[in-house]
């Protein structure tokens, strides 16, 4: 599976329903497996550098982790819901409803480590 671009509706359907969090304040995770969401902008240089790394990692972890992209300029509501203030920002979604955030351009090894944390957690 390649990195799939999502709009607000796709995000709410495939990743999490941020409009209706759980009573404990956890994200209502809707995916079949852990997910990494790349919040990016088309004008962002580091985002352009991250894209091919994400595609490569997505192929390696196909069937174990889902990879998505959300353009912050086209999907302001989703970006605001996750308090995205700079790009690139990677939001990691665990099936138990917890999330983690990585702000800035990670190295390829950092990206692999984040993905392994989702797979083997």
Residue numbers annotated as active site:
44, 47
Quote the CA–CA distance of 46 and 48 in Å, as a whole number: 5
d(CA 98, CA 100): 7
How far is residue 18's CA from residue 107's CA, in Å, rounded to a whole number?
29
5: three-class secondary structure by DSSP: strand
């Amino acid at each position: 599976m390649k990195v799939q671009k999502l709009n607000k509706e796709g995000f709410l359907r495939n990743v999490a329903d941020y409009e209706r969090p759980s009573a404990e304040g956890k994200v209502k995770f809707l995916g079949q497996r852990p997910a990494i969401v790349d919040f990016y902008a088309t004008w962002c240089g580091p985002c352009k550098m991250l894209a091919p790394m994400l595609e490569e990692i997505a192929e390696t972890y196909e069937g174990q982790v889902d990879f998505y992209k959300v353009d912050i300029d086209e999907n302001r509501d989703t970006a605001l819901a996750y308090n995205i203030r700079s790009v690139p920002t990677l939001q990691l979604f665990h099936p138990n409803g917890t999330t983690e955030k990585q702000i800035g351009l990670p190295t390829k090894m950092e990206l692999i480590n984040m993905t392994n944390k989702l797979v083997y957690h």
